[in-house]
Structure 1
Amino acid sequence: MTEGLNAKSPWPNYQWPSGKQSATLLSVDVDAQVPFMWAHRDGLPDRLATLEIRNFGPRTGLYRLIDLFARYHVKASFYVPGLTAETNPEILPTLIEAGHEVGLHGYFHEIVADVTDAEFTGALEASIELFVKQTGKKPVGFRSPAWEITPHMLREIKRVGLAYDSSLSGFDHPYEIDGITEIPVQWATDDAIFFKFEGGGRDKWPFQSGQAILRDWISEWRTLHRFGGLFTLTVHDWISGRAQRIALLEELLDNITSQKDAWVTTAAEIAAHHASSANVGRFAVEAKIPDSIGNRRFGQTNG
């Protein structure tokens, strides 16, 4: 009676490599100043504060994160906008040399609502060309800026031969959407919604307590480990490269790396495992936009 519910169970029995109960993806979005430049693409204001806050990333924060991962002997996936790599040509080779994965993250960190399908395709192809030029190899993964994506984008990701996307949250373990392997993300484990603060009256939420967020992240990881899921942590060079956030991440990694049946690896490795495992097809979904509600209403009266 319960066989048909397996794919929707709280414990869907996702099959990880032998001896592993869950997986952890440590991911870094190396945005630097590029989102600010996209937001002001028609003319940058003559102000330095936000630019300097973000420039901390490629100057210092990124290298603190690389050092952190080296000390814990873990590999991460770094998603780098094309313009970040173009203006900091040392970043991609440095990450590759350290053994990490580099993935695509738009060219200008362009937001989906701001670009046409053709512009997305052009940015995707330009990003791939730049990555190949700087690293000698084609990246295998894509993460959309702000984690929004369209069916057209999925088709283009498949057309150019990428192995996976990491922008959606339809399961808390890998799945397929329109034939593309999806390595899911989660807003609750993204540093930006807690620690992104640029000043100037533009911030949408107050700064959060690092210790409170650490407790939440440890709880999230422990519960996902119990459920056999994927814990995807997303941090940013200019946010979590700051000293207090490095200390927070050290304590988080103390917990994760002490759990021997937790698989800590890159998104590329997780996608490769998914594609070669019995999980293929078990959690496949379509990228379907439902019909609009239109003028359907209940309880309407005339007059």
Structure 2
Amino acid sequence: MTALSPVPAYPWPQGKASAFCFSVDVDAHAPWLWANRADMPRLLGHHEQRSFGPRIGMPRIAALLAAHGIKGSFFVPAIVAETHPWMLPALVDAGHEVGLHGYFHELVAQVSDDQFTHFLEGAIGLFQAQTGQTPRGFRSPAWEMTPHMLAECRRLDLYDSSLMGLETPHSVNGVTQIPVSWSTDDAIFFKFLGGGGDMGPPLGTDAVYRAWTEELQASRRYGTLMMLTVHDWISGKAVRAQMLDKLLGHVTASPDIWIATAGELAAHHRAHAPERDALTASLPESPLEHPAWKDA
């Protein structure tokens, strides 16, 4: 097979043509805490917006999934679970997957390797204490990874769902990877906090619904995974939940789509395609070190 040969179809189970995963990054107030860790503000506005998630967004999203018979993957920062101790047990009792999403939603570029390991192990301990289970999956805050983070996921036998080098499950540096996609993340379309820091007003649901149904159609055509990622405080809003209801209706009405959690996708890949698409990720050298630059 040459580099330009058609990509072989991914071996989805039961003769399915593609896969769909409903994931939730349950950020709630964690990014606010991390961003303001050195100087906690006196203002309530942003914190209250994010608090909508655990209060209303999470129950609303859970009810929506139950109505469609879908199990989701909820990636929860440990501080959110610590603040709302009902959350992880309730999700597990409802049959959903709970995965790691940092301790404080700490950003990769702002912590050392040792700090990352400390926070990761602390989050695992909290999940074990609250659920009696060891989490099997990790998703990095802001979807960024380093070689050290991958090595730690491998050491702890965690799959990762943070990168987007392929459109189907694969492995990166020996870690099973369940890819994400910015184009099917609600934050880039709807996130709006106010206060002058936003890039622009949020899009209406009609435009996003059209884009995501096109994503679903393309996923079925090319046999890929459509990883939908929503946030508790964003898509828990009534009009966006209404849009998700319509979208999930399309998903469940399509018998050729395998609806799975990220954990189920990882387990399937390890069992049925462990040698397929095994990638090695490393950072290239700086252009300043390239001979073409040095000779200039």
TM-score bracket relative to the smaller structure: over 0.9
Structure 2 distance, partners of 1:17, 1:301, is: 53
TM-score (norm 2): 0.96
Give the alignment partner of residue 285 of structure 1, picking from 258, 279, 290: 279
Give the alignment partner of residue 119 of structure 1, picking from 102, 115, 118: 115
Give the alignment partner of residue 260 of structure 2, picking from 235, 258, 265: 265
Matched AA of 1:125: E
Structure 2 distance, partners of 1:264, 1:285, is: 25
Structure 1 pair 261–156 and aligned structure 2 pair: CA distance change class (3 A)? same
State the Cα distance separating 1:202 from its structure 2 match. Answer: 1.1
Query: Cα RMSD between the aligned structures?
Result: 1.7
Question: Structure 1 stretches of 5 or more lacking a match?
Answer: none
Matched AA of 1:244: V
Count of aligned pairs: 296
Structure 1 distance, partners of 2:256, 2:289, is: 52
Q: Does 1:90 align with 2:78?
A: no
Structure 2 distance, partners of 1:10, 1:127, is: 42
Structure 2 distance, partners of 1:29, 1:301, is: 47
State the partner residue of 2:55. 59
Q: Does 1:99 align with 2:95?
A: yes
Structure 2 distance, partners of 1:106, 1:57, is: 18
Q: What is the 5 A alignment of 1:3-152?
A: 3-5=1-3, 11-152=7-148
State the partner residue of 1:247. 242
Structure 2 distance, partners of 1:200, 1:174, is: 39
Give the alignment partner of residue 225 of structure 1, picking from 190, 195, 220: 220
Structure 1 distance, partners of 2:40, 2:162, is: 28
Structure 2 distance, partners of 1:157, 1:288, is: 16
Matched AA of 1:283: D
Structure 1 pair 161–300 and aligned structure 2 pair: CA distance change class (3 A)? closer
State the partner residue of 2:288. 294
Structure 1 pair 10–188 and aligned structure 2 pair: CA distance change class (3 A)? farther
State the Cα distance separating 1:209 from its structure 2 match. Answer: 1.7
Deviations 1:139-169 (A, max 9, x none): 000000000000000000111222x100000
Structure 2 distance, partners of 1:33, 1:54, is: 5
Structure 1 pair 9–243 and aligned structure 2 pair: CA distance change class (3 A)? farther
Identity %: 51
State the partner residue of 1:166. 161
State the partner residue of 1:276. 271
TM-score (norm 1): 0.94
- Aligned with 2:229: secondary structure? strand
Structure 1 pair 299–84 and aligned structure 2 pair: CA distance change class (3 A)? closer
- Aligned with 2:121: secondary structure? helix
- Aligned with 2:288: secondary structure? coil
